[in-house]
Amino acid sequence: MNPVLSRRRLLMSGSLFAGAAAVQGLTGGSLSLVNSAMAEITAPLSPIRMSSNENPWGPSRLAISAMEAAFDKSNLYGGIANQIFALQASIEGVPPDCITLSAGSGEILQAAAVLAAWEPGSIVAPYPTFGQLIRTAESLGTEIINVPVNKDMHIDLNAMYEAIRPDTRMVYLCNPNNPIPSIIEKKALEDFVRTVSRDRLVFVDEAYYEYVDNPDFSSMMPLVAEGLNNVIIARTASKIHGFAGLRVGFGFANPELIGRLNQVMTGSVNILAQYGAYASYQDREFQDFSRDMNKKGLAIIEGMCDELGMNYIKSNANFTFIETGIEIQEFQRTMREHNILVGRPFEPFTRWARVSIAKPDEMAYFVQTYQKLYS
């Protein structure tokens, strides 16, 4: 596909706005939307989703074509899991038998929670963080030891280490974290994972890993490649690949642990999503495009925060966390009145908002709305 044409087509398609002025401004390269002399951006025709950390551009055209072509295989069981494993193995540098396919990475999170709950015990997790594994484990009777983030709102590895008890079955880490899009420094994390995984499971949730552009970050995938026991890494096609509704995720671990995860997994990935994922993971252009657009969208909202002197956590993902100073339920309601959906409450930071990065013109509308209401 011609990169220029495909980018233009993607950019010009699917805008929620009645007028295309903002989109044209952006394709012309203008990012200084906040103070630009551009005409007021008209209200969107339907709500802008800045609430669930989805990719507003996906899935890629190649993934959609692959799924369309796979429709007439819908009567068949199975799919192309082995091809997908071979592709992932070549991308990640791990053996194919260190990989499992799941209905979204949420399924891996829940399967791991089941493994951890096999015997009575506890899980150590940062607070706040993504709740799916924690909620599942808690419902199965596992005690959750919440370790608050530090004063910079970063995951506090030392405190997590201190919190581990003899009965701790698993430590959950989310890197980058969610709702706070910070990362854990790579050397400290590697030391932590090596040490802690000697005696218990360590789960590293890397749902947002493709968005990270930070020299202090490293995936823990090399530890799986090395054959370390007790380490599970989760990845998802829901974010940069734009597959949230298609439900494709991956677990990476040594083959014995993959076998245990497979035993407790209940979903299976439908054949269309498998063909789509196989195409999407080969579509570097779409991933680069999504990353690039995400950076542009982030620059717009972070630019607003800088201009207004607001606190925010520098993002390593496709969402940001900003201190509005307004109770989140009220902020959500007000934004909804302007056709913008923002993230749910995340205790204890109830006067902060998690804002997912939408298309740049939509981010510009968010900024315009926020400034009108609050500055």
Ligand X SMILES: Cc1ncc(COP(=O)(O)O)c(C=O)c1O
Contact set with ligand X (CB under 6 A): 53, 104-106, 130, 174, 178, 205, 207, 236, 238, 244, 249
Question: Shortest Cβ distance from residue 59 to ligand X (Å)?
Answer: 13
Angle between helices 81-92 and 271-280 (to 10 degrees): 30
Q: Which of 313, 301, 303 is nearest to 178 (CA)?
A: 313
CA-based max dimension of the chain: 63
User: In residues, how long is the chain?
Assistant: 375
Question: Shortest Cβ distance from residue 238 to ligand X (Å)?
Answer: 3
Output 207 or 355, the one with its CB closest to ligand X: 207
Question: Shortest Cβ distance from residue 103 to ligand X (Å)?
Answer: 8
Which residue is it, tokens 């396919």? 101
Output 22 or 258, the one with its CB closest to ligand X: 258
Which residue, judged by CB position, is nearest to ligand X in the bound state? Answer: 104
312, containing H or E segment: strand 312-313
Question: CB of 296 within 8 A of CB of 31?
Answer: yes
What three-state secondary structure class fits 193? Answer: helix
Output 244 or 271, the one with its CB closest to ligand X: 244
Dist. CA 70–CA 162, nearest whole Å: 51
Dist. CA 193–CA 181, nearest whole Å: 20
Is omega for the bond preceding 3 within 30 degrees of 0, making it cis?
Answer: no
Question: Shortest Cβ distance from residue 183 to ligand X (Å)?
Answer: 12
Output 250 or 312, the one with its CB closest to ligand X: 250
Question: Shortest Cβ distance from residue 344 to ligand X (Å)?
Answer: 11
Output 105 or 219, the one with its CB closest to ligand X: 105
